[in-house]
Amino acid sequence: MAKTVQERSAKAAQKRIAVAEKELRHRVRPGIEQAMERIRLRGKVPIISEVLQIAIMKMDLMADDDLIGFLRYPRHKIVISENVAAELYAIGQRQASRLDAEEA
């Protein structure tokens, strides 16, 4: 005789307890979800949660320096040219002299 839905759910719950399985939830924005889906398809892995588990296991094997570099979020570097710096300085000087004139 086939098991009922409740019996299957109870058996699955027992298995999760036996292996100390824990459900982790994480919210992501659409761009991250799309990236995860692309990675899943490229790696030919059927389930996104499996992709995440594999990624975590691989990161755990990385050397500390490699992991730090891998987890560092890319930031934009702002470079101000000498011309722009000189112009900003000149604007600051004009504003400072205008404030001095107003105080006097």
User: Per-residue confidence at 59, pLDDT binned at 50, 70, 90?
Assistant: very high
In a domain? residue 48: yes
- Please give the residue range of the domain that contains residue 39: 25-103
Q: Quick check: 48 and 36 in contact, CB under 8 A?
A: yes
Residue type, 43: G
Can you tell me the mean pLDDT for 45-62?
A: 92
Does 69 fall in a domain?
yes
Q: What is the pLDDT of residue 43?
A: 92
Tell me, yes or no, whether 15 lies in a domain: no
- Let me know if residue 17 belongs to a domain: no
Q: Is the pLDDT of residue 99 over 90?
A: no
Q: Is residue 18 part of a domain?
A: no
Quote the crossing angle between the two packed helices 48-61 and 30-42, to the nearest 10°.
80
Is 0.75 topped by the overall pTM? no
CB 40 within 8 A of CB 51: yes
Domain count, the chain: 1
pLDDT of 28 strictly over 90? no
Residue 58, pLDDT > 90, answer yes
65, part of any domain:
yes
Q: Is residue 9 part of a domain?
A: no
